[in-house]
């Protein structure tokens, strides 16, 4: 029943069943994450929440805390691994931030800033997946998807619509819309859906509101994601 573990050398209490990430956050320690969201069960795809426990690298969003664990998170080794994961996500998609409406409000970008990523280093894939602008209120740019399945989960479990899915294997994995035509307009998706607001990056975008927020006032302009996420409980 509950107990304490060491998080970067500091004692953190936990309750039975809490994951390392949940308990650390409750104690005020931020752990980077992309596919984890407080309203949903862990997903385990992005691996940004990696921490070192007993010499092994584990996903803190999925691993239940145990008494006496020694957890390393904010170390050069672990942050280096996180940076490499971010770099892989950047080269897999077309992340041209200068023309992306999500810039300044994007978790992937904000984490890259947080973790001192100055370039993506690897060779770029430059995927070619056409935009879906069929829906009157929302457009989809599939080339920025990081496969967190938050939209899939929100649409299925909260909106009870099942609008989105991931399909394909390996590097060909991609987001699809569950309609025979494959077009968002041919689903019952609505701009008021939970899935419309959940994407941490710039895939699911509301139309006609892009670039409305001045530079300097966007979510991560003033403060780094490590503090914004803790303040807003994200």
Partner 1 sequence: MSDSMSLSRVRVATTSLAGCFGCHMSFLDMDERLLELAKVVEFDRSPLTDIKHCGPCDIGLIEGGVCNAENVHVLREFRRNCKTLVAVGACAINGGLPAQRNHLDLGDCLQQVYVKRDGVEEGGVPDDPELPLLLDRVHPIHEVVRVDYFIPGCPPSGDAIWKFLTDLIGGRTPRLPHPLLRFD
Tokens at residue 132, please? 């879906």
Q: Is-contact 46 148, C-beta < 8 A?
A: yes
Which residue, among 101, 125, 116, has the nearest Cα to 219 in the 3D structure?
101
Stretch that binds ligand SF4, among 6-14, 75-83, 97-105, 121-129 (CB under 6 A): 97-105
Q: Do strands 10-14 and 3-7 pair parallel, antiparallel, or not at all (unpaired)?
A: antiparallel
- When asked if residue 144 is in the footprint of ligand SF4 (CB under 6 A), the reply is yes
Q: How far is the CB of 46 from ligand FES (least distance, A)?
A: 3
Q: How far is the CB of 151 from ligand SF4 (least distance, A)?
A: 3
Residue 36 lies near ligand FES (rule: CB under 6 A)? yes
CB of 34 to ligand SF4, least distance (A): 8
Q: Does 34 bind ligand FES (CB under 6 A)?
A: yes
- Select the residue interacting with partner 1 from 92, 114, 141, 149 (CB under 8 A): 114
HSE, side-chain direction, 13 A CA sphere, residue 147: 20
Residues β-bridged to residue 76:
none
How many Å apart are CA 7 and CA 66, to the nearest integer? 12
Kindly tell me which of 44 and 127 has the beta carbon lying closer to ligand FES. 44
Closest to ligand SF4 by CB, 184 or 198: 198
Q: Which pair of structure tokens corresponds to residue 175?
A: 């987001």
Contact status: 104 vs partner 1 (CB under 8 A): yes
Give which of partner 1, ligand FES, ligand SF4, none residue 33 binds (C-beta under 5 to 8 Å, depending on kind).
ligand FES
Task: Report the 10 Å Cβ neighbour count for 101.
Answer: 18
Number of residues near ligand FES (by CB under 6 A) = 12
Q: Is residue 90 a contact residue for partner 1 (CB under 8 A)?
A: yes
**Element spanning 20, H or E:** helix 20-26
Residue 51 or 138 with smaller CB distance to ligand FES: 51
CA atoms within 13 A on the CB side of 14: 25
* In the complex, least distance from residue 41 CB atom to ligand FES, rounded to whole angstroms: 11
Going from the C-alpha of 114 to that of each of 56, 65, 79, the distances in angstroms are 24, 25, 10
- Our CB check for ligand SF4 shows the closer of 16 and 96 to be 96
145 makes contact, choosing from ligand SF4, partner 1, ligand FES, none, with CB < 5 to 8 Å by partner type, with: ligand SF4
């Amino acid at each position: 029943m509950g107990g304490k573990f060491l998080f970067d050398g500091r004692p953190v209490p936990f309750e039975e069943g809490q994951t390392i990430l949940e308990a650390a956050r409750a104690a005020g320690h931020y752990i980077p994450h992309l596919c984890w969201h407080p309203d949903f069960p862990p997903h385990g795809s992005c691996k940004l929440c990696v921490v070192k426990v007993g010499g092994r690298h584990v996903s803190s969003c999925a691993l239940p805390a145990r008494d006496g664990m020694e957890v390393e998170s904010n170390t050069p080794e672990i942050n280096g691994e996180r940076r490499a994961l971010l770099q892989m996500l950047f080269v897999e998609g077309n992340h041209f931030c200068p023309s992306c409406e999500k810039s300044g409000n994007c978790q992937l970008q904000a984490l890259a800033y947080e973790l001192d990523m100055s370039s993506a280093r690897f060779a770029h894939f430059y995927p070619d997946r056409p935009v879906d602008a069929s829906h009157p209120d929302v457009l989809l740019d599939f080339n920025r998807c990081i496969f967190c399945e938050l939209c899939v989960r929100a649409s299925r479990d909260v909106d009870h619509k099942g609008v989105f899915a991931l399909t394909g294997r390996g590097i060909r994995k991609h987001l699809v819309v569950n309609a025979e035509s494959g077009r968002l307009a041919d689903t019952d998706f609505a701009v008021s859906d939970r899935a419309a607001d959940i994407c941490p990056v710039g895939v699911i975008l509301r139309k006609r509101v892009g670039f409305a927020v001045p530079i300097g006032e966007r979510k991560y302009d003033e403060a780094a994601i490590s503090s914004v996420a803790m303040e807003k409980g994200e």
